[in-house]
Structure 1
Amino acid sequence: MILDGKSVAEKTYSEIREKIEGMVSLPSLVLLCDEPDSSNKTYMKSIVKQGEKLGINVVIENTGEDPIAQVHRMNSDPSIAGVMIMHPLKNADEKSVLAALDPSKDLEGRTVSNLGGIVNDEEFFAPPTAEAVMEMLFQYDINPKGRDVTIVGRSNTVGKPLALLLLKKGVDATVTVCHSRSRDIAEKTFNSDIVVSAVGIAKFLKREMVRPGSIVIDVGINFLDGKLVGDVDYDEVSQIAAAITPVPGGVGSVTTALLFKHYLKSLERMGRIAR
């Protein structure tokens, strides 16, 4: 089974359209950047384009001489519902800029408050890519309860928060997180019911690393010979996996949709729309 992220994303967009239909003067979503690389430029362009489709103003703002002051201004500005601080910031201390951001406007869930809040179900927002993996499992009725899940990658935007989301009561997965210093990664992935790859290496996950009948979630975004590919050797692994996400059209599509869902939640908290 191919786990189609586009259909999951469209369901989310439909819910958003229904909520904001007829509204005027919607608050903006700001993308704060600093000499963005090509991948960030592409991502920002896709967010702006999707915002236009939804009628949501997405503003790209470059960091100035005092990005922390910029963020403080955004925190108190009622015309801004959410802020994304594009990684990496090359001319500013990114940790300090993130620390200045109000967690209730941190749509990417990157602040310490939001990341730590996942442990106690107190976050305003979880990182949308980690959430997108959970949404894909939920929408396709894949219950991780009691299953062995191996996540390859320990980033703050995917691996670590995803592990916490999978460990929550009611989800109850058994989670292994692998990274560049892990031993016998292939053995761990092969012995798993669900494998999530988020390492950013094209075709990292090979057929021999996956047990037949397992579920494979590809979070990778890589360019190989000018073509967008994931972390999974899709042509090979798709022959034996029970379910697999494609790249493009998989987790990435849902990630962007959930970013706008977070924007919607921010509007609710601001009292602009009913919960």
Structure 2
Amino acid sequence: MATILSGRQVSRKIYQEISEQISRFGQKRPRLVLYCSHPDNSTQAYMKSILKQGEKLNIPVQVVEASSQPFKDIMRFNNDPGISGVMVMHPLKEVDEDMVIKSISPLKDVEGRGPMNLGGVVIGETSYAPPTAEAVMEILNYYNIPIKGKDVTILGRSTTVGKPLAMLMLKKGVDGTVTVCHSRTKNIDEKARAADILVSAVGKAGFVRKSWVKDGAVVIDVGINFSDGKIVGDTDFDEVREKASAITPVPQGVGLVTTAVLFKHLVESFKRILDGGL
């Protein structure tokens, strides 16, 4: 039976580090802007969870509805030293989301979605990696799961998970051997079964079956899906945990760590702004 890789313990460690750093700032605090445009129910739920976590950390989080001039909105945020980070709530309706993301200062792009930060991940420079991709690395590191020389299969090639996670796994010193699969991949089950570490970021409930998992593999489930009124991941959890050596649950897994990494980036941005980085 697989060890459960709880995201709660990992996120608690990150939040403790954040609280220690914030205590050194005195009365000064970072501030996060959630930039949205007619958010749907799922986006509103995510925003509420971020607002709630901000309250716990005593970090102001401001919700801003996109105006008819989104470029001017972003420039205002970029030039305001009181704002440490900007998070675009996907999807933006009636607004060019790609333009908005590209307009955010790399320093305040705490989601790591802009070209400067994504490029930094590719070439190994210090930058903000997308929080979900970084959350996977945080979990593996926390539980001392070795990556060096291991075969890693990532299901999904998004710019928020699959692609940046592959780069983080390939980084010199991490040294994973990475296969990235997508909707056009042939024999995807065989590639999944070859993995020592299998990461699924597809967004399809029950996509990863027991037969897809190598005996003793580590399974990281990034998927967030709704099935019969419940939040579930991409894996058939009850079956896969019988074959894997370790597995993340959904919920209480990668998602919790993702939010913690977002706030970690916010504090890092705040420190750089205090040091004159703006």
- Per the alignment, residue 14 of structure 1 pairs with 16
Alignment counterpart, residue 4 of structure 1, candidates 3, 6, 20: 6
Q: Residue by residue, what CA displacement relative to the aligned partner does 1:140-179 show, whole Å, maximum 9, x if unpaired?
A: 0011111100000000000000000000000000000000
Aligned-partner SS, 1:258: helix
The alignment status of 1:130 with 2:133, answered yes or no, reads yes
Conserved 8 A contact 1:151-1:175:
yes
Distance 2:47 2:63 in 1: 8
Comparing 22-31 and 104-113, the one that deviates more: 22-31
Partners of 1:116 and 1:123 within 8 A in 2: no
Note closer, same or farther for the CA distance 1:26–1:56 as it changes in structure 2 (3 Å cut).
same
Matches of 2:170 and 2:49, distance apart in 1: 32
1:235 corresponds, among 222, 238, 260, to: 238
Which protein, 1 or 2, shows the higher relative CO under an 8 Å CA cutoff with sep ≥ 6?
2
Q: Which amino acid aligns with 1:97?
A: V
2: CA distance between counterparts of 1:37 and 1:154?
Answer: 24
Q: Does 1:177 align with 2:180?
A: yes
CA contact (8 A) 2:30 2:266 kept: no
Q: Determine the C-alpha separation between the residues in 1 that align with 2:126 and 2:182.
A: 25
SS of match in other structure, 2:4: coil
Query: Structure 2: which 5+ runs fail to align?
Result: none
- Taking only the aligned residue pairs, the percentage that are identical comes to 57
CA distance in 2, matches of 1:38, 1:185: 33
Q: 2:88 aligns with which of 85, 96, 108?
A: 85
Structure-2 residue corresponding to 1:74: 77
Query: 2:32 aligned with 1:44, yes or no?
Result: no
- Tell me the amino acid that sits aligned with residue 14 of structure 2: T
| Post-superposition offset of 1:124 | 2.6
Q: How does 1:23-42 map to 2 (within 5 A)?
A: 23-42=26-45
Shift of 1:272: 6.6
Summarize the Cα distance change of 1:123–1:37 in structure 2 as closer, same or farther, 3 Å threshold: farther
Q: Which residue in the other structure is 1:261 paired with?
A: 264
Once structures 1 and 2 are overlaid, which stretch shifts more, 237-246 or 20-29?
Answer: 20-29
Task: Give the drift of 1:126.
Answer: 0.5
Query: What SS is found at the alignment partner of 1:43?
Result: helix
User: Judging changes above 3 Å, is the alpha-carbon distance between structure 1 residues 114 and 123 closer, same or farther for their aligned structure 2 residues?
Assistant: farther
Partner of 2:154: 151
1:45-97 deviations in Å (ceiling 9; x for gaps): 10000000000001111101101110000000011000001111111111111
Report whether the alignment pairs 1:110 with 2:125. no
- What's the CA shift string for 1:9-49, capped at 9, x where partnerless? 00110111111127324231000011112221111110000
Instruction: Measure, in 2, the Cα distance between the counterparts of 1:137 and 1:116.
Output: 23
Q: Structure 2: how far apart are the matches of 1:113 and 1:270?
A: 17
Q: Say which SS state the counterpart of residue 47 (structure 2) adopts.
A: helix
Asked whether the 8 Å contact 2:30–2:267 carries over to 1, the reply is no
8 Å CA contact 2:122–2:164 kept in 1: the answer is no
Q: Secondary structure at the match of 1:103?
A: coil
* SS of corresponding position for 1:32: strand
Match among 181, 184, 196 for residue 199 of structure 2:
196
Q: Would the aligned equivalents of 2:50 and 2:259 in 1 still touch at CA under 8 Å?
A: yes
**Residue 4 of structure 1 aligns to which amino acid in structure 2?**
S
Quote the offset at 1:199 in angstroms.
0.3
The DSSP-based 3-state class of the residue aligned with 2:160 is: coil
Quote the residue 1:220 is aligned against.
223
Q: What is the alpha-carbon distance in structure 1 between the residues aligned to residue 79 and residue 153 of structure 2?
A: 41
TM-score under structure 1 length normalisation: 0.97
Q: Following the alignment from structure 2 to structure 1, what is the Cα–Cα distance between the partners of residues 226 and 97?
A: 26
Structure 1 Cα separation of the partners of residues 275 and 88 of structure 2: 23
1:123 deviation in Å? Answer: 4.5
Q: 1:68 to 1:123 in 2, by over 3 A?
A: farther
Unmatched 5+ stretches in structure 1:
none
Map of 1:100 onto structure 2: 103
